[in-house]
Copies of this chain bind each other. A is one copy, B any other.
Amino acid sequence: MPNYMLRISFVGSRYHGWQIQPGLPTVQGTLTDALERILSHRVRLVGCCRTDAGVHARDYVANFTTHRELSEEKLLLSLNSLLPKDIGVLAVRKVPEGFNARYSPKGKVYAYLLWNAPCRDPFLYNFSWHVPRPLDRDLMRRAVELVSGEHEFSGFAKLEGERNTRINLRVSLREEGCLLRFEFEASHFLRYMVRRITGAVVRVGMGKVSLEDIEEFLQGRKCPYSAPPHGLTLERVIL
């Protein structure tokens, strides 16, 4: 059966995350409904990961199989005409039968935005965490260095079933005036991992968490801090 890969971009503000949930608007549900209108049958849409309510994606990968032979271009146009404006299909590609959006990608890149100024920026409030108080950015950079590299990340995660919790993580922090941009790259991520690492690093900047605490979280102590979901964006899926 033909296997189709979709590259999708979405603003997550209106959605309860990727994964279908009865009675709630989700990205997977909205896309599956649009595909059903085009194909006249229900598909099982596989996504590259779950996302939390309010999280965005500039590049999300999904796939589905169908007995119907479709033109990639036509499918792209039909989907974009049916979908709401906060979800866009960037590309449709026929892929080999063995391709699976969940297991085939080699890695992912997430960005977390933080707006650090007394006044909010109305253009960013859906896409960044507004922290009005001053932050110790030197200490934050040192915390970022501590979590970069290969570590056991179970202290920063909600564990679900058997997964490899030892991960080689690359973290960077770029500062553009009031805007702080964290970037996280790894082969795979654990649930809540990015938001909890960001939450802990920002508390280091506030003086509420020490670098020793960060080391202990890396040794398995549970990190109780989290950053709000709306600052998080899945930026790139590495195929």
Q: Which size bracket describes the interface of A in this complex?
A: 20 to 34
A119→B58 CA distance, assembly (Å): 13
Q: Is A223 an interface residue (CB 8 A)?
A: no
Chain A, 58-89, CB within 8 A of any chain B CB: 58, 76-77, 80, 85-89
The digit string for A115-135, where 1 denotes a CB below 8 A from any CB of B, is: 000111111010100000000
B122 and A86 contact, CB distance less than 8 A: yes
The digit string for A82-117, where 1 denotes a CB below 8 A from any CB of B, is: 000111111100000000000000000000000000
B11 and A119 contact, CB distance less than 8 A: no
A120 and B11 contact, CB distance less than 8 A: no
Q: Is A217 an interface residue (CB 8 A)?
A: no
Chain A residues close to B by CB (< 8 Å): 9-11, 56, 58, 76-77, 80, 85-91, 118-123, 125, 127
Sample of 18 further A-B pairs with CB below 8 A, known A86-B125, A88-B121: A9-B121, A9-B122, A9-B123, A10-B122, A11-B122, A11-B123, A56-B123, A58-B123, A76-B119, A85-B120, A85-B125, A86-B122, A87-B122, A88-B119, A88-B120, A88-B122, A89-B119, A123-B127
